[in-house]
Structure 1
Amino acid sequence: MQRIIKNDQVVDETWHLLPKDTTLDGLTNCDDYLVPLALWREHSHALLARDGGLGVWLDAGEEIEEIADALDNFQVIALNFPSFTDGRHYSTASLLRQRYGYQGEVRAIGDVLRDQLFAMKRCGFDAFAVREDRDPYDALKAFEEFSEVYQAAIDQPLPLFRRRSA
């Protein structure tokens, strides 16, 4: 069983991440699924009729605006990083939190490494499925590497100079 980092703890993964070529055949009614955006587009009514948890995952290049009016239907929104160097979903996480006020879980999936976690958290991610060949306990230490931040971000809305003057 894969372990993920969620809310600064390593926990067992309980959601089933469905691949892009998944159909509704074989899906149970009560399991928690992270479905690809294409499956959501085609079968949103059937997916909403299930009893289990529902989340959606977006690949790099897929825009959050496509599901902006349906965000209340998802407990988890997972954003895929196909490679370590592809940072497009940093902006997506920030948009989810700031523009759309999304309060559910925003999870990083794909080629997620320790070096990215601190910045991802600042952008609005609160769960991380680090690459399977990496140790999630080691990755968790990324949040201890900086004791103070200067800039404002999702996790700290005031810049340091405002916090010091208050």
Structure 2
Amino acid sequence: MPDIVLQDGSIKQDEWVVVSRPEDGDSLNPPNQKALIPVDLWLAGYERYAGREDIGVWFDSHQEPETLGDKVNELTVIAVNFPKFTDGRGYSIGRLLRERMGYQNELRAIGDVLLDQLQFMKRCGFDTYALRPDKDIQKAARCLGFFSQGYQAATDTDTPLFRRRAG
């Protein structure tokens, strides 16, 4: 199994498998282990998946987190796919889940996740990061701690730096 980076920069083995969207006509069959399934398929099969701590969801960058509604905190893990490093919609999904929807559990970045994005993902509320396989996971801790302070308010602090300094 691959490794995953935690928000503090530590590394652990990833227990979750990302289940791809099935082809047209095929049904979704999550494996008998912790699985992240497409969010729309989780909603469509809500009666089957509700209350299962071994099933989480993943959002593609074009999907809206509001589709979860009041079910958001029923999920142990929500992953957000970054299909390519230039697609920044995943940052917005992370902030919406944390700030507007009050998501309290694990928020994971998956897909084309690069080292230089980790600090920004952290500020948007992501807890764990599945790096692209060709990246050196041992450098992740340094990248997560590169900046000691952020200027703007974000999910990690609701007060901008100029107000923190004035206080």
| TM-score, normalised relative to structure 2 | 0.90
**Structure 1 position 63, deviation (Å):** 0.8
Which residue pairs with 2:50 in the alignment? 48
Bigger drift between 118-127 and 40-49 goes to 40-49
Aligned residue in 2 for 1:11 = 12
Q: Distance in 2 between matches of 1:53 and 1:25?
A: 13
Residues 122-151 of structure 1 deviation map (CA, whole Å, 9 limit, x = unaligned): 111111101011121212311222122211
CA distance in 1, matches of 2:133, 2:15: 15
**Aligned-partner SS, 1:55:** strand
In 2, Cα distance between equivalents of 1:134 and 1:164: 36
1:155 counterpart = 2:156:
yes
Going from structure 1 to structure 2, the CA distance change for 1:115 and 1:26 (only over 3 Å counts) comes to closer
Question: Paired residues, what number?
Answer: 163
Comparing 74-83 with 152-161, greater Cα deviation is found at: 152-161
The letter for the 1-side match of 2:108 is R
- Name the amino acid aligned to 2:144: F
CA–CA separation in structure 2 for the residues paired with 1:26 and 1:88: 26
Over aligned residues, Cα RMSD in angstroms? 1.7
Does the CA-based 8 Å contact 1:54-1:73 persist in structure 2?
no
In structure 2, distance between residues paired with 1:138 and 1:86? 23
Once the two structures are superposed, residues 26-81 of structure 1 have per-residue CA deviations (whole angstroms, 9 ceiling, x without a partner) of 643xx22111123213322112265x422100111011011122112211110000
Identity %: 45
Which residue is equivalent to 2:128?
Answer: 127
Instruction: Decide whether aligned partners of structure 1 residues 139 and 49 sit closer, same or farther in structure 2, where only a CA change above 3 A counts.
Output: closer
Does the residue aligned with 1:40 lie in a helix, a strand or coil?
A: helix
Q: Is the 8 A contact 1:114 1:140 kept in 2?
A: no
- Please state if 1:36 is matched with 2:38: yes
Partner Cα separation in structure 2 for residue 26 and residue 140 of structure 1: 32
* Aligned residue number for residue 58 of structure 2: 57
TM-score by length of 1: 0.90
- Which SS does the other structure have where 1:35 is aligned? strand
Is 1:23 the counterpart of 2:46? The answer is no
Deviations 1:3-29 (A, max 9, x none): 01123211110012111117344643x
Q: 2: distance between equivalents of 1:164 and 1:109?
A: 35
Aligned-pair CA distance for 1:160: 1.2
1:23 touches 1:39 (CA, 8 Å); kept in 2? no
- What does residue 100 of structure 1 align with? 101
Runs of 4+, deviation exceeding 6 Å: none
- In structure 1, runs of 5+ residues without a counterpart are none
**Alpha-carbon distance in 1 for matches of 2:51, 2:31:** 12
